[in-house]
Structure 1
Amino acid sequence: MSNASATSDLKPVSWTREPAQEPLEENDGALRAVRDMIRAGERNQLVDLLKKWDPLDVMQLLVRLRLKHARKLFQWLPANPSIKVVAELRPEFRSILMEESTLEQFRDILAGLDPEDAVEILNEFPDDAAEQLIARLPDIEDIGTRGSYADDTAGRVMARKFVALPEECTAGDAVAQMQAEASRIRKVFTVYVTDAKGRLTGTVEVGKLLLAPNDTQLKKIMNKDVIAVSADTDQEEVLRLARKRDMRTVPVVSGDGQLIGRITPKQLTRIAADEANEDMLLMSGVSGEARSDDTVLRIVKGRLPWLLAGLVGASVAATVVGSYEDQLAEAAILAAFIPVTMSMAGNAGLQASAVAVQGIATGALWSGDIFFRLMKELVAALFNGAIAGTLLGCLVLGASMIVPLEEPVRLALATSLSLLCVTTLAAMVGATVPIVLDKIGIDPAMAIGVFITSSNDVLGVLIFFLMATTFYLG
């Protein structure tokens, strides 16, 4: 528990440290007082108050204020406490605070930081805002070079702080170097070993380094099986590699093998969160760039294309249904089973595609295992379809004892077989499409949204009427 407090002209204003995502009612009074001070324009009084607060408390206050009040307060804060508040803010909240009027303040904040720290903070800003800030900081070389790498690549997100020592360096000298650089590097898990040209040749874990005799050269104890990525490697590929090889940090090298940075554990965690959020949005039929504070125009631009794509799919399905107008007129009972078929097709496809996307994202889906995975999906879909179809057939026969149905046995057979075929085909489409998209360089999460839902609706309706025409009306 941490308390930040000060006294205004009217009454004490204090803040009690809140657990993660658990607002405390006792802070409501402080929120009202700060909000009133913002509305009254009492800038100096409020700044004097918050200077005495812990930055984490200020961050929690900002998050609980309305966005327009949070932005106003952040504009009022001088650079010194602002730097610490920025460091405490979660990336998504840091992004929301960004607007044109605060860019100059962020520029002043970044200019006062170590270049490597500034680059690390920039990595967590929206790309458009980051580019505007980079343009305002032309004299800082490390920040300028960030813009030379494409979005979502290792070069864009890598940290430039690392310990790299020559092969001839001894363990004792290496430990002394780490101690000297401790305040700059902070956490060090791996020491990188380079040759005379700065090319990465090996790694030494800190624990192994501490246990080695002081006069032992690094080239004698280093791990020569070095795994590194190039600066233009997609960050999702970096994450897959780190998970597959259980790597805590991932070195980044230039085209000629020179060590230029590393992906830290913090960055790997952020990449995982970013990719998960993007996949979730894509699976929901929303642009992966969507943010909670988007304007109405951005919301429309991000969602309308997906809605229109869904409209096209629904229109095709409606066309299929309309082409069987005579069959529906002959046996109106068939219309009752259209929603059942479409729902089963959609659910089966989404289940299979979700598992496929997860396997691709985590690296668990190996190329040599794809055929066997698809065969397992096929067998499982056949079992699921057979069970669901049998159950539906039994329900039809049971309903025929209560409600008069024409040819109930044939109707039960048609609906059962259609459900078996629809479930099986939808599952295979759902399992296959993400893999195909991944092979051609398209985010497989896009398959789960409108594409699979619409395609399976169309296939489901088409198969249902083919079965109904063959086994019930034939």
Structure 2
Amino acid sequence: MTMSKSTPHNLTWHREPASEPLDANEDTLALVRSMVKDGQRTALVDTLKKWDPVDVMQMLTRLRLKHARKLFQWLPADPSIKVIAELRPEFRAILLQEATLEQFRDILAELDPEDASEILNEFPEDVAEELAQRLPDVETLASRQIYADDSAGRIMARKFVALPETCTVEHAIAQIRDEAKRIRKIFTVYVLDASNHLVGTVEVGKLLLAPTQKHLADIMNRDFIAVSADTDQEEVLRLARKKDMRTVPVLDRDGHLVGRVTPKQLTRIASEEAAEDMLLMSGVSSEAKADDTVFRIVRGRLPWLLTGLIGSSIAATVVGSFEDQLAAAAILAAFIPVTMSMAGNAGLQASAVAVQGLATGAIWTGDLFYRLFKELLAALCNGAIAGVILACLVMAVSLVFPIEAPHRLALATSLSLLTVTTLAAMVGATMPIVLDKIGIDPAMAIGVFITSSNDILGVLIFFLMATAFYLG
């Protein structure tokens, strides 16, 4: 492989096995060393940002220490943070010299505490602790670590405007102006009683329109929702959507206001939960990332694949148990994929709607049976239409190819399609709700579980119908 200094974009790296350097990477190492010596920072960094962090890590450990340190200092926070995560502790200790830690400290010090805390979570624990001690808001960052990941306490902003209920509108507006530089966006003023407990909220727009001598107690909204610092972020998002709240106040165990979940955080939560649900619905672990190692990919996906394998094996066993029926009428085998496909699709459609309703809070306990009744009627209609179409196709094909007792075959297949579609839709509509009630993410119902269960149900019903109406 021949490379020149004028073509840094040709830098490539071949992933090396453990403790086994590859000769194919020697030209790349020579060119990187030359670019570091010549100070070609922009060209080299632009290229390395496109590399996988594991490859950058391997390349750094093959360079001389002074070159590796200099290059690492050139790298921006991303991907250098991911590179640190891949380094073994002994390499990390050598690479992270004082200047590098100070470089990261300067970057994090410019961020809001909640953003800095989120980035620190990407660092290995030892590096995160070292950096946290160097930051000006070390106490704020440390207090966040007492809360669980994905909790309201971990993501909340600690900057807010809270005033006593005896405060006048005029004074409240003046206070907002004073806080404007410290808090970039103020949507809600929180009202406290004499014991510093949250008793109401006042939107800024309502405050500006109220008479200046009115007290906050006279205009505040007493029908508000607050969450504890231990509340899961998904539940925070659900409550915010249910009450159409732009910000959500967060209380400690004593009922005192300690923070607020901002619109920015609510948007981020919605994006994260949507991405997580998409992964779960695809049968992939919610912790999966694009730059995962092969081991992590296998560990995250194999359990779901094995679950699907078990379901498929059971479905195959069901088919095998009807061997005599298949031997008597081989044409039945042609309808097995049709039945399984319809069952899977009907179940996935119903479960997707149920998961979305649970995520947005649209499904209430009071109208649960009404929703299930609607799903039942819709499934009956869909199944009946699909069954009639399939029956017509069977009769049409019988005019071209000889089929024994086509009327009975059309009846058996159409009835099985009606039954399978209806039952699969009801399973898909109820399973996410049941999982949600027992504390399991309902998105897990979609994909492997719904598909496998409905495959088994579908083939069983199909052969029972075929035995009763076609072979009987």
- Normalising by structure 2, report the TM-score: 0.81
Report matched runs for 1:51-450 at 5 Å: 65-68=50-53, 99=85, 100=87, 101=92, 105=100, 109-110=104-105, 113=108, 117-123=112-118, 129=124, 133-134=128-129, 136-138=131-133, 140-450=138-448
Q: Return the alpha-carbon distance in structure 2 between the equivalents of residues 345 and 144 of structure 1.
A: 51
Q: Structure 1 stretch 123-132 or stretch 215-224: which is displaced more? A: 123-132
Say if 1:279 and 1:214 are closer, same or farther in 2 by CA, change over 3 A: same
Counterpart of 1:382, as a letter, is L
Say if 1:128 and 1:30 are closer, same or farther in 2 by CA, change over 3 A: closer
Q: Return the alpha-carbon distance in structure 1 between the equivalents of residues 405 and 243 of structure 2.
A: 60
Q: Return the alpha-carbon distance in structure 2 between the equivalents of residues 252 and 361 of structure 1.
A: 20
Q: Return the alpha-carbon distance in structure 2 between the equivalents of residues 167 and 74 of structure 1.
A: 59
Counterpart of 1:123, as a letter, is E
Q: Matched residue of 1:327: which SS?
A: helix
Contact 1:103–1:133 (CA under 8 A) maintained in structure 2:
no
1:472: which partner in 2? Answer: 470
Counterpart of 2:36, as a letter, is E
Q: Matched residue of 2:259: which SS?
A: strand
Say if 1:426 and 1:141 are closer, same or farther in 2 by CA, change over 3 A: same
Contact 1:352–1:377 (CA under 8 A) maintained in structure 2:
yes
Q: How far off is 1:63 after superposition?
A: 9.7
Counterpart of 1:457 (choices 450, 455, 458) is 455
Contact 1:285–1:306 (CA under 8 A) maintained in structure 2:
yes
Q: Return the alpha-carbon distance in structure 1 between the equivalents of residues 234 and 402 of structure 2.
A: 58
Q: How far off is 1:153 after superposition?
A: 1.3
Q: How far off is 1:429 after superposition?
A: 0.3
Q: CA RMSD in A?
A: 3.4
Q: How far off is 1:457 after superposition?
A: 0.3
Q: Matched residue of 1:391: which SS?
A: helix
Q: Matched residue of 2:460: which SS?
A: helix
Q: Matched residue of 1:261: which SS?
A: strand
Contact 2:120–2:128 (CA under 8 A) maintained in structure 1:
no
Q: Return the alpha-carbon distance in structure 2 between the equivalents of residues 219 and 264 of structure 1.
A: 24
Counterpart of 1:66, as a letter, is W
Q: Alpha-carbon deviations, 1:294-334, whole Å to 9, x = none?
A: 01010000000000000000000010011111111111111
Counterpart of 1:177, as a letter, is Q
Counterpart of 1:109, as a letter, is F
Q: Structure 1 stretch 430-439 or stretch 116-125: which is displaced more? A: 116-125
Q: Return the alpha-carbon distance in structure 1 between the equivalents of residues 396 and 290 of structure 2.
A: 49
Question: Unmatched 5+ residue regions in structure 2?
Answer: 14-27, 61-66
Counterpart of 1:171, as a letter, is V
Q: How far off is 1:131 after superposition?
A: 8.5
1:16: which partner in 2? Answer: none
Q: Matched residue of 1:165: which SS?
A: strand
Contact 1:111–1:137 (CA under 8 A) maintained in structure 2:
no
Q: Matched residue of 1:177: which SS?
A: helix
Counterpart of 2:392, as a letter, is C
Say if 1:325 and 1:78 are closer, same or farther in 2 by CA, change over 3 A: closer
Q: Return the alpha-carbon distance in structure 2 between the equivalents of residues 161 and 316 of structure 1.
A: 56
Q: How far off is 1:190 after superposition?
A: 1.1
Q: Return the alpha-carbon distance in structure 2 between the equivalents of residues 275 and 251 of structure 1.
A: 20
Q: How far off is 1:95 after superposition?
A: 7.4
Report matched runs for 1:42-57 at 5 Å: 42=36, 45-46=39-40
Counterpart of 1:174, as a letter, is A
Q: Return the alpha-carbon distance in structure 2 between the equivalents of residues 62 and 237 of structure 1.
A: 41
- Normalising by structure 1, report the TM-score: 0.81
Q: How many residues align?
A: 430
